[in-house]
Amino acid sequence: MDEASLGKLLRELAPQVLGVLVRRYGQFDACEDATQEALLQAVTQWPVDGTPASPRGWLITVASRRLIDEVRSEQARRRRELDLAARAVQPAAADEGVPDTDDSLILLFMCCHPALPGPSQIALTLRAVGGLTTAQIAAAFLVPEATMAQRISRAKQAIKEVGARFVMPPPAERDARLRMVLHVLYLIFNEGYAASAGPDLTAPRLSAEAIRLTRWLHRLLPADGEVAGLLALMLLTDARRAARAAADGRLVPLDEQDRAAWDRDLIAEGVALISETLPKGHVGPYQVQAAIAAVHDEAPTMDATDWPQVLGLYDLLDRIAPSPLVTLNRAVAVAMVAGPAAGLEALGPLDTDRRLATHHRLLATRAHLLEMSGDHIAAAAGYREAARRATSLPERRYLTERAMRVAGKESSRPV
């Protein structure tokens, strides 16, 4: 088995193994550490000795032994140690007939527990469900490994302190918890597709992991429209990745991208998924966003985009899930349908929004609409201020270059 195939197998098995351990023993934090140790041992041992006949059973056995050794090394109370040891005597094969669906879903709900802050939910999901090491997660988020280790440790401690049980949330809470899970996966994907800070425009490992986990969640919950909608949104958005950056890493905006470089297989899969999902019932925000992405991806050029349809979808999104970013994106669609003055007017409510009023995306969008309207002086100033506030180096460079380009248009005007 090559390295890529081994990594894929271990990432798929990670939540199954951890789910079995937590169901058997409780102690989420100790079980998660034991699972990671077993995964690391597999990485070093399987390429030499060969993949075992039952990879899942092998990992469960190794992780169980690691867990019991840890309990003994810490001189836990004798009764607790004997209880764990007695339960571990059962062969791992006894779990082979247990469906991993429920365990895996419970595990994902636990990692996205409402007691945890957002960054901790993301880190714990990537580690416990995604099977990534602390070093890999830290590298993806451009933070020191020690910082990420502390974040994960605090998350596991919080799970322990709130007494989270390894059971499916009651029906009254299930939908809310699932929405939280989807939000975490959405945030992971967005950070991978458009890194919020650092020298690189994207962090492909994060977006790929978000897509993998959302595919997995879709297999567990095939009838949930919003799970399908989120997966379609990710596929339709990620299809443009190759065209988003030039060879030198420079950001390429949507209207300048080479659409021949878009991944047509991902687009076809995403369009088919959202086309199948939308007619089935209640339409949620991820489905609407996926429909918007599909309109963009199916247009052969920027000018050929069905902007009235895009605006209609944003109007729907604004009704069912209003947010500052929806208002921001809707204003662009308004400008494309009714002109830049109307778009600028649609941005008005955001001037007093504390979450977005000074954000570089609002400043850049306003500058773009000012440029469309011919006010190059104000547009250049807006781009410069947006560049000053951007934390992503590629975005900062793009906005600075845009400011210079627009200022050049003004200076070349005949007097």
Q: Which residues pair with 392 in a beta bridge?
A: 198
Q: Cβ(191)–Cβ(123) under 8 Å?
A: no
Which residues, given as ranges, of the chain have pLDDT below 70? 71-102, 410-415
Angle (nearest 5°) at CA 121 between 70 and 147: 65
pLDDT reported for residue 23 = 85
The DSSP result for 328-363, as a single string, is HHHHHHHHHHH-HHHHHHHHGGGGG-TTTTT-HHHH
Contact status, residue 288 vs residue 236, Cβ threshold 8 Å: no
Which pLDDT belongs to residue 134?
A: 86
pLDDT value of position 249:
85
- pLDDT (0 to 100) of residue 77: 52
Residue 96: per-residue pLDDT: 45
| Cβ-contact 365, 379 below 8 angstroms | no
Write down the number of H helices and E strands in the chain.
Answer: 19, 0
The predicted-structure confidence for 361-397, as pLDDT tens digits, reads as follows 999 999 999 999 999 999 999 999 999 999 889 999 9
In the prediction, which pLDDT does 91 show? Answer: 42
- What residue spans define the domains of the chain? 1-98, 100-221, 222-228+236-305
pTM for the full predicted model = 0.82
Give me the residue label for tokens 């600075």.
400
pLDDT of residue 90: 45
Which of 35-72 are b and which e, b meaning 16 or more Cβ less than 10 Å from the residue's Cβ? bbbbbeebeeebeeeeeeeebbbbbbbbbbebbbebbe
